Amino acid sequence: MTNFDFMENFVTDINDLDLKKTYTYSDYILWKFKERVELIKGKIFKMSPAPNISHQEISRNINRILDHYFFNKSCKVFYAPLDVLLTDKKKSSEENEIYTVVQPDLCVICDLEKIADGKKCVGAPDLVIEILSPGNSKKEMDSKFDLYQESGVLEYWLVYPEEKSINIFVLKDNKYIGLKPVSEGQILTSYIFPELKADMDKIFI
């Protein structure tokens, strides 16, 4: 295929896609429309519009805490947009067999081979953080919970801006165990990084 042929395959209008169809990462990389989407088990999920100010502030505050803790450590912190390709462990990791591409709000990756090409993460991050916003659907969040569990994300934080609380889920025996929610006035402690602590009052300022 020539470069011209490749360009011809780009999709520039989301309305040209069949939202009932199952897609893979090899399709995803040809989408050049303005809408941001994620691919969850082959199905297209439209992402929320630009995050509101509260969402951005919370993300920045958590990112500041993570950056401080992981500075000069082998693990690296990333924030959206970063394509994270989650593979079915029973299948090949060829691009035409990857059916899930998500963009977590924040994530920590310790196996740097997963980001070796400098463009995306192939495989599960160690820690994933998602901040709820009014545009997040229950179906989307339920699907992501299952995805992160199935793909082997070791720790998952689900942040509730309105309640000013964070739920932490830890992977044990391939199933998530929910820890006691952490809220205002408390100190959050990561399970897989026990020295990583965060004052909740510095997250929800």
pTM: 0.89
Q: Note the pLDDT tens digit of each residue in 52-87.
A: 889 999 999 999 999 999 999 999 999 999 999 997
Q: What is the 3-state secondary structure (H, E, C) of the chain?
A: CCHHHHHHCCECCHHHCCCCCCCCHHHHCCECCCCCEEEECCEEEECCCCCCHHHHHHHHHHHHHHHHHHCCCCCEEEECCCCEEECCCCCCCCHHHCCEEECCCEEEECCHHHHCCCCCEECCCCEEEEECCCCCCHHHHHHHHHHHHHHCCCEEEEEECCCCEEEEEEEECCEEEECCCEECCCEEECCCCCCCEEEHHHHCC
Domain ranges of the chain: 3-46, 53-203
The second-level CATH assignment, the architecture, of 53-203 is Alpha-Beta Complex (3.90)
Least-confidence region, from 10-14, 162-166, 175-179: 10-14
